[in-house]
Structure 1
Amino acid sequence: MSELVHVHAETPQPRRIEKAAKALRAGQVIAYPTDSSYGLACAMGDKAAMERIRQIRGLDREHFFTLVCRDLSEIAQYAKVENPSFRLLKSATPGAYTFVLRASKQVPNWLAHPKRKTIGIRVPGHPVARAIVDALGEPFMTVTAVADDDRPLSEANDVREFFDRRIDMVVDSGATGVEPTTVVDLTSDIPKILRPGKGSAEAIGIEPDA
């Protein structure tokens, strides 16, 4: 089975976090906790690892990966952020939101959505997810870890049992929630909720039916 690494949920141990970051640098696929559910992750520029995740999840080319960033300034390197969007992002990060933005020239064509040239961006609030991206020193790519019935997985042991040898490591910091992130489209003048979730639309100044 995949390697299991136990990490404290609130004060992640640096050596264990570095082990996860090292696995990403080596081209491995890991599972890790977020402020919604567990996710699958690989290094940003690793096309082979991304393809592994596509096969593991059964994803087609239309399904975009989310780029996990450390902070707002890093988001601006990979996405086009206009002033109104900047204010919204500032109020909502870190948190349980995924933002769809137009990809910047920094993003390779194969990384952005093939038709819309957009990219999903996230700055997680979970201490372990934040520690991993901090240790890595750059963003990484992620999708939700789900079972065959599309149910998000919230327990590390369930993740490990379901994916077995198809992934290389599971970072275990205990149970997470199962409610997905709130997906917000920021590609037009008016922000739009594409998927309601854990993040409150009202908290970032968006009407629920916007």
Structure 2
Amino acid sequence: MSQFFQIHPDNPQLRLIKQAAQIIDQGGIVALPTDSCYALVCHLDDKDAVMRLRRIRGVDEKHHLTLLCRDLSEIAQYAKVDNRQFRMLKAATPGAYTFILEATKEVPRRLSHPSRKTIGLRVPENSITHALLAELKQPLLGTTLILPDEEEPLTDPELVRERLEKQIDLVIDGGACSLIPTTVIDMTQEMPELIRQGRGDAALFGL
């Protein structure tokens, strides 16, 4: 049975953030709000939690999971970023974008794409997510909360609890989120490529 925390969207209660971080550290799966949709997240280095997360979402190892990072310097720790890419990322973060980049050796091999050695990364613009990342002092591994065989993400925390209370460990109610997921941009080539048009404005990248 999952726990349910109501956390203020602008001024997150530190006591609840610490409890949420502890649940993640102990291998828990958490549903939390972002600047796009609700996401399912877990500890970056917990193999069992990652497998559970993939099962809940109904995706295999070829599906990019995303590292939710605190800032650009953290992105640069887990992805290879040159000066040109850095300037583009700086203009778009924090925000509703997911970037596909070449993974560094800091990323466990089981988390990067098995054939391309790439990883999805983002810096969300959400106070609850940022407070949790600051408490954990490392990225979260996450994916948009879309259930198998469904096209629309879950955006109502009460509905998330109703649908997933026996599969995940915590639902964070930070208010309703957008129905529109992040804009996904592949930055592994010389020119950025739009993979999915979402909430972020692709025009920032000339797309």
TM range (shorter): over 0.9
Aligned to 1:114: 114
Counterpart code for 1:188? Q
User: In the TM superposition, what whole-angstrom CA distance separates every residue of 1:76-108 from its partner, at most 9, and x where no partner exists?
Assistant: 000000111100110111100000000012112
Return the offset for 1:186: 0.5
Aligned to 2:28: 28
Aligned to 1:163: 164
Task: Give distance in 2, aligned partners of 1:68 and 1:24.
Answer: 14
Task: Give distance in 2, aligned partners of 1:162 and 1:92.
Answer: 33
Q: Structure 1 stretches (4+) deviating beyond 6 angstroms? A: none
**Counterparts in 2 of 1:165-180, with a 5 A limit?**
165-180=166-181
TM-score, normalised with respect to structure 1: 0.95
Return the offset for 1:150: 2.7
Gapped regions of structure 2 (runs ≥ 5): none
**Counterparts in 2 of 1:35-50, with a 5 A limit?**
35-50=35-50
**Counterparts in 2 of 1:1-210, with a 5 A limit?**
1-147=1-147, 148-202=149-203, 204-207=204-207
Asked if the contact 2:24–2:30 (Cα under 8 Å) also holds between the matched residues in 1, the reply is yes
Aligned length: 206
Task: Give distance in 2, aligned partners of 1:184 and 1:4.
Answer: 33
User: In the TM superposition, what whole-angstrom CA distance separates every residue of 1:130-157 from its partner, at most 9, and x where no partner exists?
Assistant: 1111111100100111234131011101
Task: Give distance in 1, aligned partners of 2:122 and 2:19.
Answer: 22
Task: Give distance in 2, aligned partners of 1:116 and 1:180.
Answer: 23
Asked if the contact 2:182–2:198 (Cα under 8 Å) also holds between the matched residues in 1, the reply is yes
Counterpart code for 1:156? P
Counterpart code for 2:206? I
Task: Give distance in 2, aligned partners of 1:54 and 1:193.
Answer: 24
Return the offset for 1:54: 1.1
Task: Give distance in 2, aligned partners of 1:13 and 1:127.
Answer: 11
User: In the TM superposition, what whole-angstrom CA distance separates every residue of 1:27-66 from its partner, at most 9, and x where no partner exists?
Assistant: 1001000111110000000010000011111111211210
Asked if the contact 2:79–2:101 (Cα under 8 Å) also holds between the matched residues in 1, the reply is yes
TM-score, normalised with respect to structure 2: 0.97
Gapped regions of structure 1 (runs ≥ 5): none
Aligned to 2:119, the other structure's residue is in SS state strand
Counterpart code for 2:2? S
Asked if the contact 2:29–2:49 (Cα under 8 Å) also holds between the matched residues in 1, the reply is yes
Counterpart code for 2:139? P
Task: Give distance in 1, aligned partners of 2:19 and 2:42.
Answer: 14
Task: Give distance in 1, aligned partners of 2:76 and 2:44.
Answer: 16
Identity across the alignment (%):
48
